[in-house]
Structure 1
């Protein structure tokens, strides 16, 4: 008999039921499914648990892992409380779930019914169950949205996280939440608005208004921690300046999720909705309205909304070069001398910039040097010089995996004899399953190493001709976008380091290249020569 697993998911309704004292949902479902497995003598050796909404598979990592394992044929069947726990997403997600179980031949077992993917009637019943669960999800979501709008009209705070300067608290004797002022943070909010609207006093007694970036620097200098901890980014200051919560208002859907189809994939974005309606909140305001309105006038006068337009790519190294100090992707900037430079966008980073052409030339030189070195090392080898270590590793890992499988079989015998309880059985089987999964991954890597070693006995790396082609074709291209696409075929990333000299001087610039090559063990980092 094949192995089975549990899938447990706690939904939003389950959280509400727990709040009313109905106990932990996952524990109840786990006990019910283990009892079902014990009654029907099903060997359960795995469990997938998650707490999230069923709207999308993309937001459910455990469901993704389950589908991958089902597709690989790891399980004979999956035990779940009801099929609605598997998918409540759109028709694409439902079709993905149905096809994965159908083509892998994996059974779905619930306390009410078993679903055999090979049975036509079970398949129809399963698909109908997914369709009805989607309708139920839509109904629940509409009810929740109505509840949010009603709470908003009553002045309740419906966001999950309180605005800086406040803490969220449960309203006594009724449903919903409101905000309570945190005095220390409220003083920081007032200081931000005062600096932005009235300004900072100068030595001559005059006041100079400060921008969001300068305000962030002032707060860092004063030792004030940012809402997320650490240093203050300018965007956080701007978000505080634009938040009407500080004058006693509440809002919803200020940044709604907007989905659109791009090249066959669903892309989500969260644009700012400036026309969102405001309601009077129950919380006390931190600011006076005249001060807040003056700040909005200044913000509107300084902001320049981007005009959407199709701008061709101007940087051949876009998305490739990352800062070795802070990890941010370097950007192309044009300066007064008319030359393009690669600089780190992090203002707090000490990494120095360099001329784009200098960085580009260093990358190409490093690739040429790396290619010539590999061509010297990877001469055709006789067949009797294949790596013996790879062969021994595969044999050792296969024997270890067979030994764990024997232990798993003995474990099933112990639970059938009543020596192990279902809880103890699940704990032990999870440990063994984790070790077997780790050995499976190691065995796959070892076999890939073995195959690569055998290929190297008669030929060089198959990716080397592609690298040579890129280096030959790159100088003939004039379009930066085409150059960028060509480089990304052979380069994963380039780590840039430079601590001395200006952007016009090479100084101690260092580049570490990570080529996209078929590797035996680890992808080597290629250090560029001094430009």
Structure 2
């Protein structure tokens, strides 16, 4: 096709994340292609995206471009090179070729115009697509080799690091976010002092500590979960290790790589927990997993106490009757999410053996745990840690407000931008000041924190009521004076129970 027949074109630009390209590369490509278009006096529409080039399904702008080409909206598509269109599977190249061929749309590069209706151009396109695929595989292999080599040297090569680390580009290693350091240590100390995962997650959420990955389903931040806390506690990154290659893709399926095949090395980053602490954490996590018998009955004493770990809602006790069994009770979670899907938690028939084992665990609370909580003043110290973190955040917001005034005075931002940003900063500052005020009031009233004496009194009271209880309702009352909730989670035949004391 002669250039005089081309009037309206699409300009397609793609910066590939997996190729390690930078913004200036995309800018140079844009300048080159727009200069080409303007010199020919073509009208154009620009398509830009940042995406991996392996599959079209992951590239929104490319999908849109192909739909528009198929609708014959353009005389040609301008790209820096053929491999900018794709480096993926053969079926993707077939789709690209068919779309351009049947719409009679040409492909324009700074060096050549490809008309796929011409035999020579058609063959050239096929060869270039093969070379692009080979080059892409070579790049991926080299990138993986580079990541493996970096991991062996103790560098971080595995994406987003765990809380409270962040990736330092200069050292290619992890550094500690000093604002979140005391929060992480508080999580470790709480768990080692026998607080459970659910309570730690609630404590973090109630104190408005940002979640590590800022996950906001449906646009709402649901806060910390017990799963996030468990993964954080189990992570050996905080012991100083770097692990690479936990998963791999085989024939389009992601599979877990065995431990012995992974790369594990001592990293260059700061350690945040000791081997002794890690060993105690793993030991407790393992002990919390209980093997549950097949069935259980007469569990009305647990009414209103059992919470589903998966969705966080109260579980129900349903009565049933079976041949040879008679009357029995089953623990079920019937919660339905807003989208109509049901909680995936599996219920369980409950028998007397499990019932007795659970209550033995509840009654025989280790007094040493209570003594350690009292001696170290865990909750009292936790409040001081939160105040320190909030004050650091408050100072940061105040400094940001001062810089905002400087930007406005130096005409870096407009008046409208200044007013909007100022309103946001002032609102955040006032909110933090109120939170700090409330925390200080709590700190002043030490009576809000449980003491060893009050805990022993509640245990004695529970045993007194329990020993004299006749009905299930009396047992339930006795439990509720001591136990806040019992968190239930099932994985096949394995049940994990966490007892949360008041």
TM-score, reference length from structure 2:
0.53
C-alpha deviation, 1:291, in angstroms: 1.2
Answer whether contact 1:157 1:178 (CA < 8 A) is retained.
yes
Answer whether contact 1:14 1:25 (CA < 8 A) is retained.
no
How far, CA to CA, are the matches of 2:290 and 2:57 in structure 1?
34
Answer whether contact 2:239 2:272 (CA < 8 A) is retained.
yes
How far, CA to CA, are the matches of 2:290 and 2:68 in structure 1?
49
How far, CA to CA, are the matches of 2:312 and 2:118 in structure 1?
56
Please say if 1:293 is aligned against 2:268. no
User: Equivalent of 1:344, from 336, 354, 370?
Assistant: 336
Deviation per residue, 1:164-195 (Å, 9 max, x gap): 11222234xxxx51122233422222232333
Q: What is the DSSP-based 3-state SS (H/G/I as helix, E as strand, rest coil) of the residue aligned with 1:161?
A: coil
Where does residue 278 of structure 1 map in the other structure? 264
C-alpha deviation, 1:37, in angstroms: 2.5
Answer whether contact 1:329 1:344 (CA < 8 A) is retained.
no
Please say if 1:226 is aligned against 2:231. no
How far, CA to CA, are the matches of 1:197 and 1:72 in structure 2?
64
Please say if 1:192 is aligned against 2:184. no
Can you give the 5+ residue segments of structure 2 that lack an aligned partner in the other structure?
A: 215-220, 292-309, 321-329, 344-502
Cα 1:154/1:34, change in 2 over 3 Å: same
User: Equivalent of 2:173, from 171, 178, 181?
Assistant: 178
C-alpha deviation, 1:215, in angstroms: 1.7
- Structure-to-structure mapping, 1:387-426, within 5 angstroms: none
How far, CA to CA, are the matches of 2:142 and 2:270 in structure 1?
29
Deviation per residue, 1:63-108 (Å, 9 max, x gap): 1111111122221210111001001012122222122212222110
Answer whether contact 1:330 1:344 (CA < 8 A) is retained.
no
C-alpha deviation, 1:342, in angstroms: 4.7
TM-score, reference length from structure 1:
0.51
How far, CA to CA, are the matches of 1:112 and 1:164 in structure 2?
49
Q: What is the DSSP-based 3-state SS (H/G/I as helix, E as strand, rest coil) of the residue aligned with 2:212?
A: coil
Where does residue 98 of structure 1 map in the other structure? 97
Answer whether contact 1:330 1:342 (CA < 8 A) is retained.
no
Where does residue 153 of structure 2 map in the other structure? 154
Cα 1:145/1:58, change in 2 over 3 Å: same
Q: What is the DSSP-based 3-state SS (H/G/I as helix, E as strand, rest coil) of the residue aligned with 2:11?
A: strand
Please say if 1:217 is aligned against 2:183. no
C-alpha deviation, 1:298, in angstroms: 3.5
Cα 1:344/1:193, change in 2 over 3 Å: farther
Q: What is the DSSP-based 3-state SS (H/G/I as helix, E as strand, rest coil) of the residue aligned with 2:211?
A: coil
Where does residue 30 of structure 2 map in the other structure? 30
Where does residue 230 of structure 2 map in the other structure? 238
Where does residue 72 of structure 1 map in the other structure? 71
- Structure-to-structure mapping, 1:14-93, within 5 angstroms: 15-16=20-21, 18=22, 24-41=24-41, 43-93=42-92
Q: What is the DSSP-based 3-state SS (H/G/I as helix, E as strand, rest coil) of the residue aligned with 1:251?
A: strand
Length, aligned pairs only: 300
Answer whether contact 1:257 1:269 (CA < 8 A) is retained.
yes
Cα 1:95/1:183, change in 2 over 3 Å: same
Deviation per residue, 1:292-314 (Å, 9 max, x gap): 12322343455699xxxxxxxxx
How far, CA to CA, are the matches of 1:47 and 1:182 in structure 2?
40
Answer whether contact 1:253 1:273 (CA < 8 A) is retained.
no
Answer whether contact 1:58 1:64 (CA < 8 A) is retained.
yes
- Structure-to-structure mapping, 1:117-128, within 5 angstroms: 117-128=116-127
- Structure-to-structure mapping, 1:487-506, within 5 angstroms: none
Where does residue 10 of structure 1 map in the other structure? 15
C-alpha deviation, 1:271, in angstroms: 4.8
Can you give the 5+ residue segments of structure 1 that lack an aligned partner in the other structure?
A: 201-209, 261-265, 306-327, 354-531
C-alpha deviation, 1:270, in angstroms: 6.5
How far, CA to CA, are the matches of 1:330 and 1:113 in structure 2?
61
- Structure-to-structure mapping, 1:319-334, within 5 angstroms: none
How far, CA to CA, are the matches of 2:312 and 2:181 in structure 1?
36
Answer whether contact 2:201 2:226 (CA < 8 A) is retained.
yes
How far, CA to CA, are the matches of 1:285 and 1:329 in structure 2?
33
Cα 1:91/1:303, change in 2 over 3 Å: farther
How far, CA to CA, are the matches of 1:129 and 1:25 in structure 2?
22
